[in-house]
Amino acid sequence: MSSETPTTSLENLSREERRFPPSEEFAAGAIATADLYDRAAADREGFWAEQARDLLTWSTDFTQTLDWSKAPFARWFVGGELNVAYNCTDRHVEAGHGDRVALHFEGEPGDTRSYTYAELTAAVKRAANALQDLGISKGDRVAIYLPMIPEAVIAMLACARLGAPHSVVFGGFSAEALHSRIEDAQAKLVITSDGGYRRGKPSALKPAVDAALAKGAPSVKHVLVVKRTGQDVEWDDARDVWWDDALAAAAPEHTAQPMDAEHPLFILYTSGTTGKPKGILHTSGGYLTQCAYTHKNVFDLHRDTDVYWCTADIGWVTGHSYIVYGPLANGATQVIYEGTPDTPHQGRFWEIVQKYGVTILYTAPTAIRTFMKWGEDIPAKFDLSSLRVLGSVGEPINPEAWVWYRRVIGGDRTPVVDTWWQTETGAIMISPLPGVTAAKPGSAQVPLPGISADVLDDEAHSVPDGGGGYLVLTEPWPSMLRGIWGDDERYQETYWSRFPGMYFAGDGAKKDDDGDIWLLGRVDDVMNVSGHRLSTTEIESALVSHPKVAEAAVVGATDDTTGQAPCAFVILRGGAEQGDDIVTELRNHVAQEIGPIAKPRQIMVVAELPKTRSGKIMRRLLRDVAEKREVGDVTTLADTTVMDLIKSGMSTSTES
């Protein structure tokens, strides 16, 4: 893994002196209190065992909390059995909460639907039977490629109910990306829809599934299609089935079978440092325990009165853990929204908060910075007084955005929790507790009770307060990934070899003088665009797959709105035309290969790329160029005139 020592350019960050302790009133009513830290520290495994038993319903109790004898392959809650979907649906009905709303769905065009826990349970049972009728049984993989509609949640829970691991693929990914994920997981079924609504228009989804399967995916037997937009779709009678027809034909009753605590629940692909996305594997008991625990304590969930809204898409881990599994295991009432924040107007989020009386809002820094740009007068038109906790996730939140979020959206009254975690960690790891921590804008601050993290230097020494280095997790945790699908070696190498015995997250971090943690961004060739992880190598591979490109280098350059944005440097093959057309053509090509989110902000056609004597591209220098800084130290470059060439070529580059 190529890693660069975290820069100190964020030095000033941790000098932030503003403090926001919870109000006395908030602290008095808070779910999580300071003694949680002591209890977890006194007996970490006992603490997790207690959470697992308190928060979940087990068919068979576990006999051992953690088996770490085959580290880094963990087994949590050994011998325990449970059904994840039962924990998210039926049991709330059995406990007398069938009439409580589970989901308030708000479609982009303004159509709405609500599901009570009784209705959600009934829908999941039917869907589970429908999947079974299509030949799905325990262990089979199911790919889900859907917009943010209730059927996405129902489909995931139906899979969980049968013990058929789902692999949700973000609807913004291309047919190519979908195909490679279907192939890697050997999915037997794909669940999709005709389309979804995006920026005021229907946007097709099924054609991408048809194209993905046309590339060859013999494992797929059926495609289950939800009707959302009513668009025309191509139909393969032998393969395609309408969701409504399948559910109508399915039996209404279904008894959930218990699964082993370590039964695979899902695979979710995320970008790594190589071109091939990693299938992150999560299992049942530990994952659900930590999702429920963090959702309750970090967001201060008062189940009977709160209305929770996480604005993520279920295509990302945030949607898995904090739309589906955490909130539903806790029996919460939540809002799910299909569309974008600016459709049909820039106040849409605040209109939704007002309409449903949202009390807990969980969103990303990139959205907050966009709202700041749009101006305070937009949220000011709505009644946001119901809000009492605000969360942030996906990338470091700059202190100004944090303070704006609290003041303008939170009425200067709500705690803000900056939550650090990853697809791999499954659930939140580092975050303030809203009723306990005196929050510091810009810092995720402290590992949650039960979690152990540290910041290490190059020699694996814990850095003193005030020092910077690499973030590691020093103890196993219940919702940790159990591996990379089909690649145990890559799992060990990626996460457990840089600092033996410890989990290396890939993030740079700093401890301030109080020992609080400040995240500084990735230290590997992974960039973070709008809170979504993209690999530089993956975009480079997409570019060189274009017939006109000889070589490509991609860097993540700082971007005011999206945090980072991909910037590409390409060398064209002899004879290929330069100019604007090629830039547009290449941007579209990347969108087609990966998805629109990966489109480079800027593509510079260059004659050379800066390389070390051993032939490694020096992305650090390219980042300097992309961020319009003085180019740094070039002494290890094989040919030092290359940078002058690139810089002089810059004036002709196209930005779009």
Phi-psi region of 160 (alpha: psi -120 to 50; beta: other; left: phi over 0): alpha
Please state the closest distance from residue 320 (CB atom) to ligand WT7, in A: 9
243 binds ligand WT7 (CB under 6 A): no
Inter-residue contact 204 to 231 (CB < 8 Å): yes
Provide, rounded to whole angstroms, the least separation between the CB of residue 125 and ligand WT7.
30
Span from 62-70, 500-508, 549-557, 590-598 in contact with ligand WT7 (CB under 6 A): 500-508
Does 495 engage in binding with ligand WT7 (CB under 6 A)? no
Q: Which residues contact 140 (CB under 8 A, 6 or more apart)?
A: 164, 188, 189
Residue 539 C-beta: closest distance to ligand WT7, Å: 15
CB of 316 vs ligand WT7, minimal distance in Å: 6
522 near ligand WT7, rule: CB under 6 A: yes
Q: Which stretch binds ligand WT7 (CB under 6 A): 19-27, 449-457, 505-513, 608-616?
A: 505-513
9 vs 257 by CB, closer to ligand WT7: 9
Binding to ligand WT7 in span 528-557, by CB under 6 A: 528, 531-533
Nearer to ligand WT7, 184 or 507 (CB): 507
* Beta carbon nearer to ligand WT7, 161 or 498: 498
Among 420, 477, 491, 504, binds ligand WT7 (CB under 6 A): 420
Of 388-396, 543-551, 565-573, 584-592: span binding ligand WT7 (CB under 6 A): 388-396
Of 20 and 356, the one with the shorter C-beta distance to ligand WT7 is 20
Least spacing, CB of residue 353 vs ligand WT7, in Å: 21
Of the pair 163, 441, the CB lying nearest ligand WT7 is at: 441
Q: Which residue's CB is nearer to ligand WT7, number 532 or number 611? A: 532
Is-contact 231 195, C-beta < 8 A?
yes
d(CA 286, CA 49): 10
396 binds ligand WT7 (CB under 6 A): yes
Distance from C-alpha of 226 to C-alpha of 243, rounded to nearest angstrom: 5
Residues counted in the chain: 656
What is the nearest approach in angstroms of ligand WT7 to the Cβ of residue 9? 15
Where do we find the tokens 């926001």? 20
C-beta of 409: minimal distance to ligand WT7 in Å? 17
Smallest separation, CB 597 to ligand WT7 (Å)? 12
Q: How far apart are CA 395 and CA 419, in angstroms?
A: 9
564 binds ligand WT7 (CB under 6 A): no
Region from 12-20, 39-47, 66-74, 501-509 binding ligand WT7, contact rule CB under 6 A:
501-509
Whole-Å CA distances, 391 to 368, 415, 557? 11, 8, 25
Distance set, CA 191 to CA 50, 153, 426 (Å): 37, 12, 23
Q: Establish if 507 lies at the interface with ligand WT7 (CB under 6 A).
A: yes
Q: How many residues bind ligand WT7 (CB under 6 A)?
A: 24
User: To 10 degrees, the CA torsion angle through 586, 588, 592, 594?
Assistant: 70
- Give the list of residues 6+ apart from residue 423 with CB closer than 8 angstroms, or none: 268, 270, 280, 316, 317, 481, 533
- Dihedral over alpha carbons 625, 627, 633, 635 (to 10 degrees): -30
Can you tell me which of 421, 470, 477, 569 binds ligand WT7, judged by CB under 6 A? 421
- For residues 148 and 336, the answer to whether their CB atoms sit within 8 Å is yes
Give the N- to C-terminal CA distance of the chain in Å, as an integer. Answer: 32
Helix, strand or coil for residue 371? helix
Tokens 């590339």 appear where?
A: 215
Distance CA 539, CA 529 (A): 13
Nearer to ligand WT7, 519 or 642 (CB): 519
**What is d(CA 386, CA 150) in angstroms, rounded to the nearest whole number?**
24
Q: Quote the CA–CA distance of 564 and 587 in Å, as a whole number.
A: 17
Q: Residue written as tokens 């917009």?
A: 147
Per the listing, tokens 């003193």 go with 464
Among residue numbers 128 through 187, which ones bind ligand WT7 (CB under 6 A)? none
Among residues 136, 175, 209, 505, the one that binds ligand WT7 under rule CB under 6 A: 505
Q: Does 356 bind ligand WT7 (CB under 6 A)?
A: no
Nearer Cβ to ligand WT7 (527/625): 527
How many helices and strands, by DSSP H and E, does the chain display? Answer: 22, 31
Hey, which residues between 290 and 319 contact ligand WT7 (CB under 6 A)? Answer: 316-318
> Which one of 262, 418, 512, 540 is in contact with ligand WT7 (CB under 6 A)?
418
Closest approach, Cβ 293 to ligand WT7, in A, equals 16
For residue 365, the minimal CB distance to ligand WT7 (Å) is 8
Name residues contacting ligand WT7, limited to 569-608 (CB under 6 A). Answer: none
Q: Which is nearer to ligand WT7, 141 or 533 (CB)?
A: 533
Positive/negative CA dihedral, 299, 279, 564, 16: positive
Closest by CA to 340, choosing from 306, 364, 375, is 364
Give the one residue of 330, 366, 422, 602 binding ligand WT7; rule: CB under 6 A. 422
User: In which region does residue 275 sit, left (phi positive, over 0), alpha (psi from -120 to 50) or beta (all else)?
Assistant: alpha
Footprint of ligand WT7 on residues 442-471 (CB under 6 A)? Answer: 444
Longest dimension (CA), the chain: 74
Minimal distance, residue 619 CB to ligand WT7, in Å = 17
**Smallest separation (angstroms) from ligand WT7 to the CB of 323:** 12
In whole angstroms, how close is the CB of 32 to ligand WT7 at the nearest point? 18
Of 579 and 596, CB closest to ligand WT7: 596
Minimum distance of ligand WT7 from residue 420's CB (angstroms): 4
Among 192, 297, 398, 423, binds ligand WT7 (CB under 6 A): 423
Q: Supply angle C-alpha 618, 623, 627, rounded to 5.
A: 160
Are 589 and 543 contacting, i.e. CB atoms less than 8 angstroms apart?
A: yes
| Cα 16 from Cα 41, distance rounded (Å) | 28
Closest CA to 86 of 258, 230, 251: 258
Q: What is the signed CA dihedral for 650, 652, 653, 654, rounded to 10 degrees?
A: 150
238-246, 298-306, 370-378, 392-400 -> range binding ligand WT7 (CB under 6 A): 392-400
CB of 251 to ligand WT7, least distance (A): 37
CB of residue 23 vs ligand WT7: minimum separation in angstroms?
Answer: 23
Q: Residue for token digits 């440097």?
A: 569
**Tokens, residue 449:** 């009770």
- What is the binding site for ligand WT7 (CB under 6 A)? 270, 316-318, 393-396, 418-423, 444, 505-507, 519, 522, 528, 531-533
